[in-house]
Amino acid sequence: MNNSTLVTRPLFPSLDEYTEQLKEIWSSQWLSNNGQKHQQLEVELKEYLDASNISLFNNGTIALLVAIQSLRLQGEVITTPFTFPATTHVLAWNNLTPVFCDIDYERMTIDYKQIEKLITAKTTAILGVHVYGVPCHVEEIQDIADRHGLKVIYDSAHAFSTVVNGRPIAAYGDISMFSFHPTKLFHTGEGGALVFNDIHLKQRIEYLKNFGIKNENEVVLPGINGKMGELQAAMGLKVLPLVKEEQSKRAKLREYYTNKLAEIGGVSIVKLPQGATNSEQYFCIRLKGGDEIRQKIYDALKEHHIFSRKYFYPLISDYPCYANLPSAQHGKLPVAKKVAQEVLCLPFYGDLDFSIVDQIAEIIAKHVA
Ligand SMILES: *Cc1c(COP(=O)(O)O)cnc(C)c1O
């Protein structure tokens, strides 16, 4: 795979710096359960994300699972079919029924105008995803939630450090989840976090991620093991200082891509709404010609050992485990269906050579013509 170009490449701190961290861990003789590195990373991330409250996890999926448990949700949750499988699976693992809502054609996030008609007596929450770092209509969604007494959870896996209208993305909604998987801009090898506004949630979330253990004599909740260990936290401490430079390299790359692709008809580039900063998590294009052209481009790139990703295709509502749900039935999600045929995420990481972008643009131009 050495000559291959993958869709992303994880940030690696210098091995010497990570080794320094390891030496400290070795002398502490402490590997998990709220160790020194964990405590330090929690402090640094809280500040970095301008978070009111934060809790670290072993991965983003378990974090989201715990977020839902902590809010004691029941019944139905209105969510988007255009996302990574984990978003919806955590609902199933909590015995909740996902109710798929169509998406906004421009933003590709949950279409707030369609949420209200899906609300029933069983609805308890809205679960949105800031897809590719494009923020959901956070104000409008909060307004709906307030009027109907619903909780709001965001899967912010793609929106690390995004700011919307001068506020950090996680200031919106009850709880936001971040993933620190290596494919994400900031990572800890594997890891994740919950950011939330209500301090009262903190204790419950801490119990839930540690088997519900209160003390040596009391277990108060049916918790799970969601703890981040010291090796992961140490990785995070060394990756975090690299994020800003990576973002600015990616911003330049995005500009280069944008210029190269601008003249090609039938190709549009995903843009952020006014007032939102770009996390630079993905570089995604949309192909007006749909799946047929997309597949041709995907295959042609692959022939040149360039690997793009059809994020997010297929739609979650088309997975066999969800396809029988009433909200997944034929014709209910026309915009999501269309968008899922159009999107293609292209290789995007700071060290990507501009000459590869030239090559990608050439291959795309050849196939849409
Ligand atoms: C990566 C990702 C997740 C899962 O996070 P993990 O840390 O890998 O468990 C969830 N949702 C979205 C949208 C993602 O991109």
User: Ligand 1 in contact with 279 (CB < 6 A)?
Assistant: no
Decide: 77 in ligand 1 pocket, CB within 6 A: no
Choose one of 61, 103, 169, 311 to mutate for the ligand 1 pocket test, by most ligand atoms within 8 angstroms of C-beta: 61
CATH architecture of the domain with range 15-241: 3-Layer(aba) Sandwich (3.40)
Q: Which residue's alpha carbon is at the smallest distance from atom 2 of ligand 1?
A: 157
Q: Which atom of ligand 1 is nearest to the CA of 158?
A: 15
Q: Which helix (H) or strand (E) holds 144?
A: helix 138-148
The radius of gyration computed from the CA coordinates of the chain, to the nearest angstrom, equals: 21
For residue 188, which of 19, 288, 57 has the smallest C-alpha distance? 57
Query: Tokens for 339?
Result: 């968008």
For residue 62, give the ligand 1 atom closest to its CA. Answer: 9
The fold of 243-368 is: Aspartate Aminotransferase, domain 1 (3.90.1150)
Token couple for 127: 């679960």
Pairwise CA distance, residues 97 & 61, whole Å: 17
Other CB atoms within 10 Å distance of the CB of residue 356: 15
Where are the extended beta strands (E) located within the chain?
53-57, 76-79, 97-100, 123-129, 151-155, 163-164, 167-168, 175-179, 192-196, 213-215, 218-219, 267-269, 283-287, 343-346
The Å distance, Cα 264 to ligand 1 centre, comes to: 32
Largest CA distance in the chain: 70
Contacts of 368 (CB under 8 A, 6+ apart): 264, 265, 266, 267, 287, 289, 293, 297
- Residues of CATH 3.40.640.10 domain(s) within the chain? 15-241
Nearest Cα neighbor of 156 from 144, 174, 140, 143 is 174
Would you give per-residue pLDDT tens digits along the chain (369 residues)? Answer: 568 999 999 999 999 999 999 999 999 999 999 999 999 999 999 999 999 999 999 999 999 999 999 999 999 999 999 999 999 999 999 999 999 999 999 999 999 999 999 999 999 999 999 999 999 999 999 999 999 999 999 999 999 999 999 999 999 999 999 999 999 999 999 999 999 999 999 999 999 999 999 999 999 999 999 999 999 999 999 999 999 999 999 999 999 999 999 889 999 999 999 999 999 999 999 999 999 999 999 999 999 999 999 999 999 999 999 999 999 999 999 999 999 999 999 999 999 999 999 999 999 999 987
Question: Of all protein residues, whose CA lies closest to atom 5 belonging to ligand 1?
Answer: 60
Name the residue at shortest CA distance from atom 14 of ligand 1: 157
Of 362, 343, 346, 360, which Cα lies nearest the Cα of 289? 343
Q: Which atom of ligand 1 is nearest to the CA of 183?
A: 1
Cβ–ligand 1 contact at 156 (below 6 Å): no
CA of 158 from ligand 1 middle (Å) equals 8
Q: Do residues 196 and 64 lie in contact, with contact meaning Cβ atoms separated by under 8 Å?
A: no
SS3 content of the chain, % helix, strand, coil (to 5): 40, 15, 40
Q: In terms of DSSP bridges, do strands 218-219 and 213-215 run parallel, antiparallel, or are they unpaired?
A: antiparallel
* 133-183: pLDDT as tens digits: 999 999 999 999 999 999 999 999 999 999 999 999 999 999 999 999 999
Q: Indicate if ligand 1 lies below 6 Å from the C-beta of 83.
A: yes
Distance, CA 268 to ligand 1 centroid (Å)? 25
CA dihedral 359, 363, 364, 369 (to 10 degrees): 140
Q: Report which ligand 1 atom has the smallest distance to the Cα of 184.
A: 1
Span(s) in the chain for CATH 3.90.1150.10: 243-368
**Which amino acid, one-letter code, is at 226?**
G
Long-range contacts of 247-252 (CB under 8 A, 24+ apart): 247/161, 247/185, 247/278, 247/279, 247/280, 249/350, 249/351, 250/280, 250/283, 250/348, 250/349, 250/350, 251/278, 251/280
Q: Do 126 and 175 touch, CB atoms closer than 8 A? A: no
Model pLDDT, residue 2: 62
Pocket test for ligand 1, best of 181, 183, 187, 228 (most atoms within 8 A of CB): 181
Residue nearest to atom 8 of ligand 1 (CA): 181
| 84 within ligand 1 shell (Cβ under 6 A) | yes
Whose C-alpha lies nearest to ligand 1, atom 7? 60
What number does the ligand 1 atom closest to the CA of 131 have?
13
